[in-house]
């Protein structure tokens, strides 16, 4: 089905965040300086910014709507009136790509947020409590890893209709497992440190210790992995749209445009090339940025 | 070792049972059945059809009967392909997907491991950057973009290959390249990472100090440890690659099992959905077990508990 992703290569916890406040900011500053030196990551950041601004603001400056048809014109190659050409119904491709970008990026962010919430909570609880509860929870994750989830998502979408909220939840429910594993191992490393001991000694509740004391200290790996989850979520959304299970026409999404383009590429290649290029470029940027963040936040790799 | 394998087998059976049950009841919970889409179905014919396939019985009874047949390795009759059993359909279509998968996997391993090793040795040179862009491309350019673009370029414009079909040897080239590329990219990333980790270690320095040639150090000493991350990735990857890719099989019109995963769901072909889900789950669990054993063999530090 969809190709499984390699296990994430995420950095270990920075050795000792002695006084969280002060070192935290200097760590972030160092990371930022390292990130700026990484050309691919900078390229990714700039591209993402441009694409996002274009998708959000672009449609206001174009006179066509995403469903405005011009059947007399039909599919026309790029011209002065339609910069990226039109599709078979005479709809402006540029505006459809921009609207599609809103949907694809929006789904990417929302579903990642779902995955993030489930994964971080689950992983933090398993890692913090440890023992039998942890063993049971992680066995469950292992078993879920071996389930054919892509098929489940397809079944869900086929059977329960093409509902966009369901899409977020289904994708999020698939993508949280790796996040849970990462957060758990990080929490296990941090919880043994002295400042957690101190927090306990001061009588803070477990919830407060997890969310106020532990999680802020493992934000680095969480941010890195979140950045890397967004592209895989967008890929899954595009795959579902390619199957006709995602966003429904006349609304557009990048997956849907690519599906249309692939069907008509012999006569109208621009319908495939433009959306395909932009989609790939965006995912490239997200992956470059995620990799760059990982290198920048990884204390180990800065030593060699 | 033996205890580990039996424990894992038991665990896999339990997981398989959960998968089968969840899929079964999820499908039955949904309105509509395999015959609702049929054009001319009078209520009588519908009743007969349902009686023929046992769909008129209570769901729990159907479930128990299905499990009973499953224990005998019988996946039941297909609802959409008349007079064909799910076993026959799988026996018919899995080899096609497996052949394509085998070819793609060979490409992926050769290209991925080769590129990963070179990138690790020539770290921070242009070779490494090219490899890194390639590795990211596999995660960023989906097969449903690469596939049609290659068809556009090499089948339609240049005319070297047929745009679709699965008849001659040349029909294998484009699909296995596209599918192989999708898997080569992550393999190259993992190989590079694994090799870098290993090349820092003392035993590599020892090997060099003893005068082993660089080729021998890389291929004999480092590769064994460096490939560990690749091995753990290969479990799910091989399961995915052998059971076919819906996208590739649709684009290139290949009669494999990958399309059935999706089409059976659209058709509400209950038994075929279950059959393909079981096939995939069994493969992935079996291969993960194999991966764990291989990993223990490659790395004495990993103990099987």
Instruction: Measure the CA–CA gap between A176 and A157, rounded to whole angstroms.
Output: 19
Spatial contact of B156 and A266, defined as CB atoms under 8 Å apart = yes
Secondary structure in 3-state letters for A114-171: HHHHHHHHHHHHHHHHCHHHHHHHHHHHHHHHCCCHHHHHHHHHHHCCCCHHHHHHHH
Asked if B251 lies within 8 A of A5 by C-beta distance, the reply is: no
| Conformational region of residue B253, where left means phi above 0, alpha means psi within -120 to 50, and beta covers everything else | left
pLDDT digits (tens, 9 = 90+) for A80-93: 666 777 777 767 77
Contact A146 B280 (CB under 8 A): no
Quick one: pLDDT band at residue A304, thresholds 50, 70, 90?
very low
B295 touches chain A (CB under 8 A): no
A168/A172 Cα distance (integer angstroms) = 6
Least confident span in A23-32, A114-123, A128-137: A23-32
Is a pLDDT exceeding 60 seen at residue A14?
Answer: no
Q: Is the pLDDT of residue B57 over 60?
A: yes
* Weakest-pLDDT range from A241-245, A294-298, B56-60, B284-288: A294-298
Across the interface, of A139, A239, A287, the residue whose CB is closest to B140 is A287
Its ipTM equals 0.74
Interface test with B, best of A2, A3, A12 (most B CBs within 10 A): A3
Please report the pLDDT score of residue A147 as a whole number. 67
Task: Give contacts of B128 with chain A, Cβ < 8 Å.
Answer: none
Residue among B30, B140, B141 minimizing CB distance to A159 = B30
CB-based contacts of B285, cutoff 8 Å, min separation 6 = A146, B12, B15, B16
Q: What is residue B105's predicted lDDT score, i.e. its pLDDT?
A: 92
CB contact under 8 A, B280 and A273: no
Phi, psi at residue A8, to the nearest 5°?
Answer: -70, 145
CB B141 within 8 A of CB A234: no
Give the predicted TM-score (pTM) of the model.
0.77
pLDDT, position A298? 64
| Most A-contacting residue of B119, B136, B155 (CB-CB within 10 A), to test interface | B136
Is the model more confident about B162 or about A104? A104
Interface contact B281, partner A, CB < 8 A: yes
Whether the predicted pLDDT of B35 surpasses 70: no
Question: What is the structure's pLDDT at B109?
Answer: 92
More confident residue, B198 or A49: A49
Chain A residues with beta carbon closer than 8 angstroms to that of B149: 272-273, 276
Using a pLDDT cut of 70, give the percent of chain A over it.
81
- Residue B77: beta bridge partners? B85
For the record, the structure tokens of A88 come out as: 């078979």
B38 or B33, which is more confident = B33
pLDDT at position B173, please?
Answer: 80
When pLDDT is averaged across residues B275-294 and rounded to a whole number, the result is 83
Among B residues 138-177, those touching chain A with beta carbons less than 8 Å apart: 139-142, 144-145, 147-149, 151-152, 156
Burial of B86 (0-12, 13-18, 19+ CB in 10 A): buried
Residue of chain B nearest A6, judged by CA positions? B233
Please name the member of B15, B145, B262 whose beta carbon is closest to the beta carbon of A279. B145
Q: Is the pLDDT of residue B240 over 60?
A: yes
CB < 8 Å to A232, chain B: 139
Mean pLDDT, range B182-188, rounded to an integer: 87
Smallest Cβ distance to B247: which of A242, A272, A291?
A: A242
């Amino acid at each position: 089905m969809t190709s499984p992703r390699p296990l994430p290569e995420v950095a270990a916890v920075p050795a000792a965040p002695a006084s969280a406040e002060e070192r935290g900011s200097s760590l972030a500053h160092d990371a930022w300086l390292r990130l700026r030196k990484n050309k691919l990551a900078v390229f990714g950041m700039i591209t993402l910014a441009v694409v996002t601004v274009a998708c959000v603001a672009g449609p206001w400056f174009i006179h066509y709507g995403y469903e405005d048809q011009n059947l007399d014109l039909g599919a026309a190659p790029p011209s002065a009136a339609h910069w990226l050409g039109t599709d078979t119904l005479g709809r402006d491709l540029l505006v459809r790509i921009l609207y599609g970008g809103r949907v694809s990026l929006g789904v990417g962010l929302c579903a990642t947020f779902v995955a993030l919430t489930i994964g971080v909570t689950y992983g933090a609880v398993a890692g913090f409590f440890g023992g039998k509860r942890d063993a049971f929870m992680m066995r469950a994750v292992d078993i879920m890893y071996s389930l054919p989830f892509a098929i489940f998502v397809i079944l869900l979408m086929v059977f329960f209709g093409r509902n966009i909220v369901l899409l977020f939840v289904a994708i999020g429910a698939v993508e949280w497992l790796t996040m849970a594993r990462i957060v758990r191992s990080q929490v296990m490393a941090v919880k043994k440190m002295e400042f957690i001991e101190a927090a306990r000694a001061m009588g803070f509740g477990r919830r407060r210790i997890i969310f106020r004391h532990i999680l802020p200290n493992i934000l680095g790996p969480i941010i890195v992995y979140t950045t890397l989850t967004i592209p895989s979520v967008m890929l899954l959304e595009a795959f579902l749209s390619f199957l006709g299970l995602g966003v429904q026409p006349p609304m557009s999404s990048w997956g849907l445009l690519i599906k249309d383009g692939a069907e008509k590429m012999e006569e109208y290649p621009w319908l495939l090339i433009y959306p395909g290029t932009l989609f790939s470029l965006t995912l490239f940027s997200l992956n470059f940025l995620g990799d760059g963040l990982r290198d920048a936040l990884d204390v180990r790799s800065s030593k060699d | 070792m033996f205890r580990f394998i039996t424990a894992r087998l038991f665990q896999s059976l339990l997981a398989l049972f959960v998968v089968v049950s969840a899929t079964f009841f999820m499908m039955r919970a949904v309105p509509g059945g395999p015959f609702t889409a049929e054009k001319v179905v009078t209520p009588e014919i519908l009743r007969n059809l349902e009686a023929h396939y046992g769909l008129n019985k209570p769901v729990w009874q159907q479930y128990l009967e299905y499990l009973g047949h499953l224990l005998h390795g019988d996946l039941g009759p297909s609802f959409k392909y008349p007079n064909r059993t799910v076993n026959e359909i799988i026996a018919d279509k899995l080899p096609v997907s497996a052949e394509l998968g085998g070819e793609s996997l060979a490409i992926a391993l050769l290209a991925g491991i080769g590129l990963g090793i070179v990138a690790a040795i020539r770290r921070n040179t242009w070779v490494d950057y090219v490899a890194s862009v390639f590795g990211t491309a596999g995660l960023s350019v989906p097969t449903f973009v690469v596939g049609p673009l290659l068809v556009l370029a090499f089948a339609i414009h240049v005319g070297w290959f047929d745009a679709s079909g699965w008849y001659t040897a040349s029909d294998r080239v484009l699909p296995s390249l596209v599918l192989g590329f999708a898997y080569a990219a992550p393999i190259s990333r993992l190989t590079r990472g694994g090799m870098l980790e290993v090349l820092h270690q003392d035993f590599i320095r020892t090997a060099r100090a003893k005068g082993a040639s660089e080729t021998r150090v890389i291929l004999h000493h480092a590769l064994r440890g460096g490939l560990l991350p690749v091995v753990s990735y290969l479990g799910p990857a091989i399961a995915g690659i052998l059971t076919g890719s819906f996208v590739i099989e649709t684009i290139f019109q290949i009669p494999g099992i990958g399309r059935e995963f999706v089409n059976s769901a659209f058709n509400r072909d209950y038994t075929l959905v279950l059959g393909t889900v079981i096939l995939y789950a069994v493969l992935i669990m079996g291969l993960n077990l194999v991966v764990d054993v291989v990993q223990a063999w490659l790395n004495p530090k990993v103990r099987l508990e």
